[in-house]
Amino acid sequence: MENGRPAASEYFQRQVRWHPLEYAVWLAALLPFVLTPSHLSLASQIAITALFALSLDLLVGYAGLVSLGHAAFFGMGAYTAGLIAKHYWGEPLSVLLISGIFAGVLGYAMSHVIVRFRHLALIMLTLGFGLLLHEAANSASALTGGADGLQGFKYTSVLGFKFDMYGRAAYAYSLAVLFICFLVARRIIHSPFGLALRGIRENAVRMPAIGAPSLSHLRKAYTLAAVVAGVAGALLTQTTSTVSLEVLSFGRSADVLVILILGGAGRLYGGILGAVIYMVARDQFSGINPQYWYFWIGLLLVAVVMFLPNGILGGLSALYKKTQ
């Protein structure tokens, strides 16, 4: 016992400590300002997608809750940000916060239902809630603009920096929000609460048996993921100044799942890596018909599930361990 304790605490400290590679990743995130100043709007799209994937990672990767309807929260955040700007005020930071809270409230309400189910019922309920919200937004066209989307508002600047056509402020803003949310997520993952979540993922029956309030942990994780997804949605609205119905679509839920799995679920950088690869590839191949684009996505999914069960990051770390 005496030998075990220092070893365990050392293990956890090593987990929490920043790895040199992590500094490198975040420094590299600044490179687009210098290297590709003409592609900054793509870069901000990537940052937003990465944030969305990070929020799904909290659910799928850490808590082990499958979700086929995560776009519900993204869309909630996006529409909240759009509606506030259209009817009330256009100060981005406060709107970002409110959008996150709105999405969080929706997530908290849904979590009471969702966390009680497993297997097919869970998949169907998340899918069902997502579709329900999509249909509701489509039907309530007086409020949301329906299939035409929400237009006629504009976010002009954040903290005095103007959103211009080069997207410099947009990227800096998205990256800053991504970084802050990442820090929060990183802190949560390495907290006892984060460990408990992983415990629930590994053995859902055993955790309550050793005294962890499994359902309330899952509810918290679900609400948290909803807040982050809502923030990501609001970011998209603020940097593009439109909201389309697509933010709530099943396609968006499926895309973000693909991105996360591709990068590596259950790893903080999985969603970020997946978002970079997916968005850059989609931008490069934007010439081909989206229908054929999905052929390659499908093939990639099958390959990842069959040969790289932990995604690209998982594969890389296994490779690294082998060479050691």
Partner 1 sequence: MLSSLAAVLFDGFAYGMLLFLLSVGLSVTLGMMNFVNLAHCSFAMVGGYTTVMLMNKLGWPFFATLPMAFVTAAVIAVVLERVLYRRLYRATDLDQCLLTIGIVFISVAAFAWFFTTEQQSTRIPEYLRATLQFMGVNFAVYRVFLVVVSLAVTGVLIYSLEYTRFGAQVRAAVDNQRMARGLGINVDRAFMITFALGGGLAGLGGALAIEIIGLDPSFALTYLVYVLIVVAVGGLGSIGGSFAAAVVLGISDMAGKYYFPWLGAFLIYLVMVGLLMWRPVGLFGKR
Binding positions for partner 1, rule: CB under 8 A: 60, 66, 68, 113, 116-117, 119-125, 127-129, 131-132, 135-136, 138-139, 250, 254, 257-258, 261, 289, 291-295, 297-302, 304-306, 309
Q: In 10 A of CB 125, how many CB atoms?
A: 18
Q: How far is the CB of 202 from partner 1 (least distance, A)?
A: 11
Q: How far is the CB of 272 from partner 1 (least distance, A)?
A: 19
Q: How far is the CB of 268 from partner 1 (least distance, A)?
A: 18
| Nearest CB to partner 1, comparing residues 33 and 293 | 293
Phi, psi of 288 (to 5 degrees): -80, 155
How far apart (Å, rounded) are the C-alpha atoms in residues 90 and 241?
11
| Nearest CB to partner 1, comparing residues 24 and 132 | 132
Determine the straight-line distance between the first and last CA of the chain, rounded to whole angstroms: 30
How far apart (Å, rounded) are the C-alpha atoms in residues 35 and 126?
41
Q: How far is the CB of 55 from partner 1 (least distance, A)?
A: 16
**Placement of tokens 């850490």 in the chain:** 62
| Nearest CB to partner 1, comparing residues 32 and 130 | 130
Of 97, 100, 88, give the one whose Cα is nearest residue 153.
88
Q: How far is the CB of 160 from partner 1 (least distance, A)?
A: 43
Q: How far is the CB of 219 from partner 1 (least distance, A)?
A: 16
Q: 3-state DSSP call for residue 162?
A: strand
CA-CA-CA-CA dihedral for 212, 265, 248, 188, to nearest 10: 40
| Nearest CB to partner 1, comparing residues 120 and 205 | 120
| Nearest CB to partner 1, comparing residues 97 and 254 | 254
| Nearest CB to partner 1, comparing residues 32 and 75 | 75
How far apart (Å, rounded) are the C-alpha atoms in residues 36 and 204?
46
Answer yes or no: are the C-beta atoms of 55 and 228 closer than 8 Å. yes
Amino acid identity for residue 1 in this structure: M
